[in-house]
Amino acid sequence: MTEQTWTHIPIMAAQIAELLLTHSSGTYMDGTLGLGGHTKFFLSKLSSQAHIYGFDKDLHALKMAQERVADERLTTVHASYSQAPQMLSQYNVCTLDGALFDLGLSSYQLDDPSRGFGLLNEGPLDMRFDTTQVLTAADIVNTWPLDELERIFREYGEEHRAMQVAHAIVTCRRTQSIRTTTQLKQVVENVLGPKRGRIHPATQIFQALRIACNEEFLHVEQIADVIEQLLKPGARAAVLTFHSLEDRLVKNQFKALAHTGRWKLVNKHALAPTYEEISQNRRARSAKLRVIERI
Please give the residue that has the higher pLDDT: either 107 or 36.
36
If asked whether residues 39 and 99 sit together in one domain, one would say yes
Indicate if 62 and 203 belong to the same structural domain: no
**Residue 3 pLDDT class (50, 70, 90 cuts):** very low
| 178 and 88 inside one domain | no
pLDDT at 234 over 70: yes
Asked if residue 34 belongs to a domain, the reply is yes
Higher pLDDT, 105 or 60: 60
| Shared-domain flag, residues 268 and 285 | yes
Identify the pLDDT of residue 180: 97
Do residue 103 and residue 241 come from a single domain? yes
Shared domain for 7 and 100, answered yes or no, is yes
Is residue 203 scored above 60 in pLDDT? Answer: yes
pLDDT at residue 213, as a whole number: 97
The reply to whether 195 falls in a domain is yes
Q: Are residues 207 and 197 in the same domain?
A: yes
User: pLDDT band at residue 120, thresholds of 50, 70 and 90?
Assistant: confident
Which residue segment(s) compose the domain that 90 sits in?
3-108+217-294
CATH number of the domain encompassing residue 172 = 1.10.150.170
Kindly state whether residue 114 falls inside one of the protein's structural domains.
Answer: no
Does 19 reside within a domain?
Answer: yes
Q: Has residue 290 been placed in a domain?
A: yes
* Whether 18 and 47 share a structural domain: yes
pLDDT band of residue 44 (cuts 50, 70, 90) is very high
pLDDT of residue 5: 47
Residue where a domain terminates, one of 182, 215, 248:
215
Same-domain pairing of 33 and 163: no
Spatial strand order of the sheet with 74-78 comes to 74-78, 51-56, 27-30, 96-102, 231-241, 288-294, 263-265
Asked if residue 222 and residue 210 are part of one domain, the reply reads: no
Average pLDDT (152-180) is 97
CATH number at residue 43: 3.40.50.150
Asked if the structure places residue 113 within a domain, the reply is: no
pLDDT of 7: 59
User: What's the whole-number mean pLDDT along residues 55-84?
Assistant: 96
pLDDT for the residue numbered 6: 53
**How far is Cα of residue 223 from the mean position of the Cα atoms in its chain?**
12
Task: Kindly tell me if the per-residue pLDDT of 4 is higher than 50.
Answer: no
Mean pLDDT of the chain: 94
The residue from 192, 215, 238 where one domain ends is 215
Does residue 52 belong to any structural domain of this protein? yes
Q: How many CB atoms lie within 10 A of CB 246?
A: 20
Question: In the structure, what pLDDT confidence band is assigned to residue 17 with cuts at 50, 70 and 90?
Answer: very high
In a shared domain, residues 242 and 182: no
Q: Of 189, 215, 241, which residue is a domain's last?
A: 215
Asked if residue 237 has pLDDT above 90, the reply is yes
Q: Which pLDDT tens digit goes with each residue over 272-283?
A: 999 999 999 888
Candidates 193, 196, 176; CA nearest to 185 is 193
pLDDT digits (tens, 9 = 90+) for 182-195: 999 999 999 999 87
Number of domains in the chain: 2
- Is residue 1's pLDDT more than 60? no
Q: What is the mean pLDDT of residues 144-162?
A: 97
Average pLDDT in the 135-141 region? 98
Q: Are residues 199 and 227 in the same domain?
A: no
What confidence tier does 107 reach under pLDDT thresholds 50, 70, 90?
A: confident
